[in-house]
Amino acid sequence: MRAGRVTGTHVEGGSGGRTPRVDVAELVRLRTRHPEAIAEAAARRARRPLLNETGRLMIVAADHPARGALGVGDRKLAMANRADLLERLCLALSRPGVDGVLATADILDDLLLLGVLDHKVVMGSMNRGGLQGASFELDDRFTGHRPEDIERLGFDAGKLLLRVDYTDPGSLTTLESTARAIDAMAERRLPVFVEPFISRRTPEGKVANDLSAEAVTRSIAIASGLGGSSAYTWLKVPVTENPDDMARVMETSTLPAVLLGGDIGDSPEDQVAAYEKWRGALRLPTVRGLVVGRSLLYPADGDVAAAVDTAVGLL
């Protein structure tokens, strides 16, 4: 075994795809005996431009666990098994047309040790402080990658979540901290993907994102104007409740955008419906790709490779 890299047997996945089976014991051995192996793996990682010749992006997202969001559909702890999640990520990253991954430090460190991030876009998740279901969920503190971490590790971009509740005075603090993070990324000439929502609490206290055309339009306008420069800002936006509204909504900004996936439901029919929504929105001039996580890593039929290949085909 090469120093600082985990190897192992192989398992079949989906449409004949092959992924290294994760050796948890070896990962733990490296983390305890040779923690600097992570920085060494980052230093030798073969890099690529953010966009290749197609000008499109297909990113697999796995930053949900750090916010305590482990559920997929009605499976509340679907993402809780780390070895299983890593195997699914390795399989997804091995599929043709997948450009990279979005995740928090713990997951990216494992993927570095597994040696699967060469020639991939690596995006660090920056704010995960708004834990799902917490009283402070809308207080999205920057508890993940800092701009200096993304620069030091040679990663390619950052991503941050911006949820604004007009009834919550704390949203002003979230806006300000988001703007300063955008400034810090622009100073380093690093792209930052901003995921904006207009949010509110239901009578039961649950945070809900408003996906109406008006709310998504407003969130895009707010996010586009944050910071002292928008040169390195991308948007990460949902498809509206009525997909026919997307053309008008995306006229709100000239910033490049990717579509987010979200939790699309537990049935094959839900997955097909999501693909059709993405297909239509991907035709819009500012939409440059997809950043999708749970619906590809945990598809209803269990076939990760087929789900990923279908999403790639939409591009």
Express each pLDDT in 273-282 by its tens digit: 888 899 999 9
Tell me how far apart the alpha carbons of residues 266 and 301 are, in angstroms, rounded to a whole number. 9
Helix runs in the chain, H state only? 24-33, 37-44, 82-94, 105-114, 147-152, 171-187, 213-224, 246-249, 268-281, 294-297, 304-314
The burial of 312, by beta-carbon neighbours within 10 Å (0-12 exposed, 13-18 middle, 19 or more buried), is given as: middle
Ordered domains of the chain (ranges, CATH):
10-314 (3.20.20.70)
Tell me how far apart the alpha carbons of residues 88 and 84 are, in angstroms, rounded to a whole number. 6
Is the predicted pLDDT of residue 267 greater than 80, yes or no? no
Bridge partner list, 13: 17
Q: What are 90-125's pLDDT values in tens digits? A: 999 999 999 999 999 999 999 999 999 999 999 999
Is the predicted pLDDT of residue 9 greater than 50, yes or no? no
Q: What are 170-184's pLDDT values in tens digits? A: 999 999 999 999 999
At residue 76, the 3 state secondary structure works out as coil
* Among candidate residues 26, 146, 43, the one with its CA nearest the CA of residue 86: 26
pLDDT recorded at residue 308: 96
Tell me how far apart the alpha carbons of residues 39 and 153 are, in angstroms, rounded to a whole number. 7
Name which of 4-8, 45-49, 150-154 the model is least confident about: 4-8
Burial pattern 45-66, b for ≥16 Cβ within 10 A else e, equals: beeeebeeeeebbbbbbbbbbb
- pLDDT mean across residues, the chain: 91
Tell me how far apart the alpha carbons of residues 101 and 164 are, in angstroms, rounded to a whole number. 26
pLDDT recorded at residue 269: 78
DSSP state, residue 245? G
Choice between 189 and 10, residue whose per-residue pLDDT is larger: 189
pLDDT recorded at residue 2: 44
Percentage of residues of the chain with pLDDT beyond 70: 92
pLDDT recorded at residue 266: 64
Q: Which of the four pLDDT bands, split at 50, 70 and 90, describes residue 20?
A: low
At residue 162, the 3 state secondary structure works out as strand
Is the predicted pLDDT of residue 32 greater than 60, yes or no? yes
